[in-house]
Amino acid sequence: MKATIYHNPRCTKSREALAILRAAPGIEIRVIEYLKTPPTRDELADLYRRAGITPRDGLRKAEDGAKALKDASDDAILDAMAADPILIERPLVATDKGVRIGRPPEVVREIL
Domain range list for the chain: 2-111
- The sheet that has 92-95: what strands, in order across it? 28-33, 2-7, 92-95, 98-101
> Which fold, 2-111?
Glutaredoxin (3.40.30)
One-letter identity of residue 66: A
| pTM, 2 dp | 0.94
Q: Give the mean pLDDT of 44-66.
A: 97
* Angle at 33 (CA atoms; ends 38, 62), nearest 5 degrees: 75
List residues with catalytic annotation. Answer: 11
CA gap 6, 1 in Å, rounded = 17
Ranges of beta strands (E only) in the chain are 2-7, 28-33, 92-95, 98-101
Percent of the chain at pLDDT > 70 equals: 100
Per the prediction, the chain carries an average pLDDT of 97
